[in-house]
Amino acid sequence: MRRVLIIGATSAIAEATARLLAARGDSLFLVARDADRLQTIATDLGVRGAVRVATATLEVTDFDAHAAVINAASLALGGIDTVLIAHGTLSDQIECQGSVDALRREFVINALSTMALLTPLANLLEAQGFGTLAVISSVAGDRGRQSNYVYGSAKAALSVFLGGLRQRLAKSKVNVLTIKPGFVDTPMTAAFKKSALWAQPAQIATGIVNAIDRGRSVVYLPWFWSIIMLIIRSIPEPIFKRLKL
């Protein structure tokens, strides 16, 4: 039985992942902004088999509140084995191009808040000498594109941070998993036209749980995004500049 802290627990991917963990009898501590939604999800996870489910509300940009929530999770679960961080926003690229405030807000939510949460969590797991930190980044962080380079650069910063953290914590038997989903059909992407490249949250959740169990370092979900992003990263810059991506 794992003792799992999930931050951003009301996101579609996090909820689908929590259902898989609940079904095998894990204990869960759920964190998000919406208390009512959290309680609804917690009740459902209890029915699905979770040994214990507790919740706490948190605005991730309130950095001063991070420590209290982490302490509450550790007390409620009797320790923390695994952390999944899944919060984030899909930035409005046009708005961010015209507003420094919007640009800063998106970086704080999609990069700095996660790094701030990971700092005490990494120290906690390093001191105990085991555990997993699983964090949702994005394929968008693999190469800057005109359609979403603000969101992509925040995720790129996060991916680099996770890479360094992984190397630091490897000697303490703490695994750091970077999760890079491609297109996922969630409420956040409801307005987008869907194609065969889009995945459902349950598919991504299965990939996340498998990657945690296997101690993976980086995982693209679904798997074919590793091939797609390899191609995109390999396009020479003179050609890339002429593409509409």
Does position 245 have pLDDT exceeding 90, yes or no? no
Is 240 a residue whose pLDDT tops 90?
yes
Residues contacting residue 72 through CB under 8 Å, at least 6 positions apart: 29, 54, 56
DSSP alpha helices (H): ranges in 79-148? 93-98, 100-107, 113-128
Report whether pLDDT(195) > 90: no
Write out the two tokens for 157.
Answer: 């910063």
Give the pLDDT band (50/70/90) at residue 224: very high
- DSSP-derived secondary structure letter, 181: E
Domain boundary assignment for the chain: 3-241
Catalytic residues: 151
* DSSP, res 182: -
Q: How many CB atoms are closer than 10 A to CB 196?
A: 6
User: Which run of H or of E encompasses 31?
Assistant: strand 27-32
Look-up: residue for tokens 């038997």? 173
pLDDT-based confidence at residue 23 (cuts at 50, 70, 90): very high
Q: Supply the CATH classification number for the domain 3-241.
A: 3.40.50.720
Q: Band the pLDDT of 181: cuts 50, 70, 90.
A: very high
129-167 per-position pLDDT tens digit = 999 999 999 999 999 999 999 999 999 999 999 999 999
Range 120-144 burial, b when 16+ CB lie within 10 A, else e: ebbebbbeeeebbbbbbbbbbbbbe
Q: Which amino acid is at 232?
A: I
* DSSP 8-state class, residue 147: T
- Are the C-beta atoms of residues 109 and 88 closer than 8 Å to each other? yes
Cβ count near 77 (within 10 Å): 21
Spatial neighbors of 36 by CB under 8 A, at least 6 apart, are none
Average pLDDT, the chain: 96
- pTM, 2 dp: 0.94
Give the tokens for residue 166: 């992984």
CA distance 149 to 85: 22
CA–CA separation, 66 vs 74, rounded Å? 13
Return d(Cα 89, Cα 188) in angstroms, integer.
8
Confidence category of residue 191, pLDDT binned at 50, 70, 90: confident
